[in-house]
């Protein structure tokens, strides 16, 4: 799930000064925030491109991306002299954070920084005593101590409210 509300364009750094060189940009840059476990879909748009590039290489942290984990790349010709390459990683984790570079055969490289965010709360399936399943929020270790105090605080608040109501009723 992408957390940015509006995609921005990250233009390739200076081209060679020639107007006929296609220009690449990655939608959503220069920083993208993605929740762990969700899909990462990076779109590299190549404008002023008379034809789709013969290939587009994608790099993560300077290393050519291989697809052992089920990712894929597509390249397609778009309207009005554009071409688009998409990099899809089906489920990202913290190791997928970092710099992603799109390098089309016919344009200068462009990049985006991806930040994979660990979810603060996760849903977990728990089997209850009746043999059924229930969904409950499982806290991450960062808030485990604070979350364990929550029932105590709620109980104290309820007792205080009941005592106040009893005092007000006896007046």
Q: Is residue 4 part of a domain?
A: no
How many CA atoms lie within 13 Å of 45's alpha carbon, on the beta-carbon side? 17
**In terms of residue numbers, what domain contains 22?**
9-117
Collapse the DSSP code of 54 into the 3-class scheme (helix H, G, I; strand E, B; otherwise coil) and give the result.
coil
- Residues 129 and 55 placed together within one structural domain of the fold: no
* Whole-prediction pTM: 0.59
Overall size of the chain counted in residues: 171
Query: What pLDDT, on a 0 to 100 scale, did the predictor assign at position 10?
Result: 41
How high is the mean pLDDT in each 10-residue block of the chain (171 residues)? 40 49 91 95 92 91 82 85 92 95 94 90 48 46 51 66 75 71
How far is the C-alpha of 90 from the C-alpha of 36, rounded, in Å?
11
- Residues 98 and 139 placed together within one structural domain of the fold: no
Q: Is residue 145 part of a domain?
A: yes
How many CA atoms lie within 13 Å of 114's alpha carbon, on the beta-carbon side? 31
């Amino acid at each position: 799930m992408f957390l940015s509300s509006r995609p921005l364009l990250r233009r390739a750094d200076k081209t060679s000064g020639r107007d006929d060189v296609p220009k690449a940009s990655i939608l959503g840059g220069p920083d993208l925030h993605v929740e762990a476990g969700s899909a990462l879909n990076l779109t590299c748009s190549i404008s002023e491109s008379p034809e789709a590039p013969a290939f587009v290489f994608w790099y993560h942290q300077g290393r050519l991306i291989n697809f052992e984990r089920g990712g894929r790349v597509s390249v397609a010709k778009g309207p009005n002299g554009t071409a688009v390459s998409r990099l899809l990683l089906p489920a990202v984790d913290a190791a997928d954070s970092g710099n992603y570079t799109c390098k089309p055969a016919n344009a200068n490289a462009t990049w985006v920084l991806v930040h994979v965010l660990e979810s603060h709360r996760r849903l977990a399936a728990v089997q209850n005593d009746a043999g059924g399943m229930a969904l409950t929020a499982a806290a991450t270790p960062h808030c485990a101590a604070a979350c364990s105090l929550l029932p105590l605080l709620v109980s104290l608040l309820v007792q205080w409210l009941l005592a106040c109501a009893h005092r007000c009723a006896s007046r």
